[in-house]
């Protein structure tokens, strides 16, 4: 009986917008299953492009859904932001964090800070128009080539520090320092790009941003 009720509930809400479902799920947690059905497979595929491990991808997806539910109230207060762009940003940041942790445990990463996309209102609006992988590539294209190359090789192509160090004919220690500088550069350019994509703004628009 319980299963049939849950199935009926999911069918009833299957065509409702994500934003409405998430808001309703705050009061009725059963409805969160609707979002899980919609995004679980896609989250697993996207996480796999970062962590290159299906078991770890499942952990990333699970942690992402936990964070989405945990911060549902915060999202509900943001006007004009699509659930999909917000959720995928959480997914990618979670995936980068998990990947950095995995590589650190293997001894490849000395600095534990993974590359992450900016947690800003402008970033949320920009992701409504830009796929996350495209956003990362756009940022990499703005960076110095030598730094962008090591980030792309490690995070997007899944190459180990050992492989990259051999390709570049540098020591692991030197590569770790280069990766650290590259991650700092990534953060700087990501903020610049998302701010630029929202210009020009009226004084009213800037004031609205400050509310969120």
Asked if residue 130 and residue 100 are part of one domain, the reply reads no
Residues 121 and 181 in one domain: yes
What average pLDDT is seen over the chain? 76
Predicted confidence at residue 107, as pLDDT, reads 53
User: What is the pLDDT at residue 18?
Assistant: 93
Task: Check residue 14 and give its pLDDT.
Answer: 82
Q: Reply yes or no: is the peptide bond before residue 78 cis, omega within 30 of 0.
A: no
- Selection from 97-101, 129-133, 138-142, 174-178 with the highest mean pLDDT: 174-178
User: Where a domain ends, among 106, 140, 175?
Assistant: 106
d(CA 200, CA 181): 30
pLDDT at 127 > cutoff 50: no
pLDDT of 128 > 70? The answer is no
Rg (C-alpha) for the chain, rounded Å, is 19
Residue 93 confidence (pLDDT):
86
Is residue 172 over pLDDT 80? yes
Based on the domain organization, do 118 and 185 belong to the same domain?
yes
What pLDDT, in 10s, does the model give residues 3-56? 677 677 777 888 899 999 999 999 998 899 999 999 999 999 999 888 888 889
Domain span including residue 117: 110-212
Higher per-residue confidence, 191 vs 33: 33
Number of domains, the chain: 2
The domain that holds 41 is classified in CATH as: 1.10.1740.10
Pairwise CA distance, residues 61 & 28, whole Å: 21
Are residues 150 and 81 part of one domain? no
Is the pLDDT confidence value at 208 over 80?
A: no
Contact predicate 51/95, CB 8 Å? yes
């Amino acid at each position: 009986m319980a299963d049939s009720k849950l199935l009926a509930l999911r069918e009833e809400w299957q065509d409702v917008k994500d934003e409405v479902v998430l808001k309703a799920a705050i009061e009725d947690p059963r409805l969160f299953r609707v979002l899980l059905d919609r995004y679980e497979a896609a989250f697993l595929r996207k996480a796999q492009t970062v962590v290159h491990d299906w078991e770890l991808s499942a952990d990333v997806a699970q942690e992402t859904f936990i964070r989405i539910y945990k911060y549902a109230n915060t999202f509900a207060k943001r006007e004009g932001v699509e659930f999909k762009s917000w959720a995928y940003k959480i997914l990618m940041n979670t995936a980068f964090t998990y990947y950095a942790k995995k590589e650190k445990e293997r001894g490849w990463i000395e600095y534990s800070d993974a590359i992450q996309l900016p947690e800003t209102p402008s970033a949320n609006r920009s992701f409504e128009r830009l796929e996350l992988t495209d956003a990362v590539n756009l940022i990499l294209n703005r960076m110095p080539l030598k730094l962008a190359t090591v980030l792309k090789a490690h995070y997007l192509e899944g190459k180990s520090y050992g492989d990259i160090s051999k390709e570049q004919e540098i020591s692991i220690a030197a590569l770790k320092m280069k990766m650290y500088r590259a991650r700092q550069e990534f953060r700087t350019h990501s903020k610049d790009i998302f701010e630029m994509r929202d210009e020009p703004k009226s004084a009213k628009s800037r004031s609205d941003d400050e509310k969120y």
